[in-house]
Amino acid sequence: MSRIVGVGVVLLLSWCCCGAAAPDAALPEHAPYQRIISLYAAHTENLMTLGAAERLIGIDGQSKTLPGAAGKPIFSYHDDPERFLAAQPDLVLIRPMIARGYPQLVQRLEQSGIRVVSLQPTTVDQLADYWRQLGRLCGQSAAAEAMIDRFNAAVDAFKALSRTVASPKRVYFEAIHSKMKTFTPQAMAIFALETAGGVNVAADAPVRANNNIAVYGKERLLSHAAEIDVFLSQQGAMNQASRETIMAEPGFGVIRAIKHDQVFLVDETLVSRPTLRLLQGIYHIGCLLYPQTYRAAGRRILADAGLPE
pLDDT of residue 16: 35
What is the per-residue pLDDT across 163-172, written as a single tens digit (0 to 9) for each? 999 999 999 9
What is the per-residue pLDDT across 92-143, written as a single tens digit (0 to 9) for each? 999 999 999 999 999 999 999 999 999 999 899 999 999 999 999 999 999 9
CATH of domain 10-139: 3.40.50.1980
- CA 64 – CA 265 distance, rounded (Å): 23
User: Which amino acid is residue 128, in one-letter code?
Assistant: A
State the pTM of this model. Answer: 0.91
- CA 229 – CA 216 distance, rounded (Å): 18
- CA 110 – CA 86 distance, rounded (Å): 14
CB of 43 within 8 A of CB of 34?
no
pLDDT of residue 31: 74
- CA 309 – CA 299 distance, rounded (Å): 7
- CA 214 – CA 209 distance, rounded (Å): 11
164-304: CATH topology? Rossmann fold (3.40.50)
Average pLDDT of span 80-85: 97
CB of 125 within 8 A of CB of 148?
no
Q: How confident is the model at residue 43 (pLDDT cuts 50, 70, 90)?
A: very high
Q: Which of 19-33, 58-72, 147-161 has the lowest mean pLDDT?
A: 19-33
CA torsion 31→32→38→44, rounded to 10°?
A: 130
Residues of the chain with CATH 3.40.50.1980: 10-139, 164-304
Q: Which of 55-59, 140-144, 206-210, 237-241 has the lowest mean pLDDT?
A: 206-210
Q: How confident is the model at residue 27 (pLDDT cuts 50, 70, 90)?
A: low
For the cut 90, the answer to whether the pLDDT of residue 297 exceeds it is yes
Average pLDDT of span 220-228: 98
Q: How confident is the model at residue 8 (pLDDT cuts 50, 70, 90)?
A: very low
Share of the chain above pLDDT 70, in %: 91
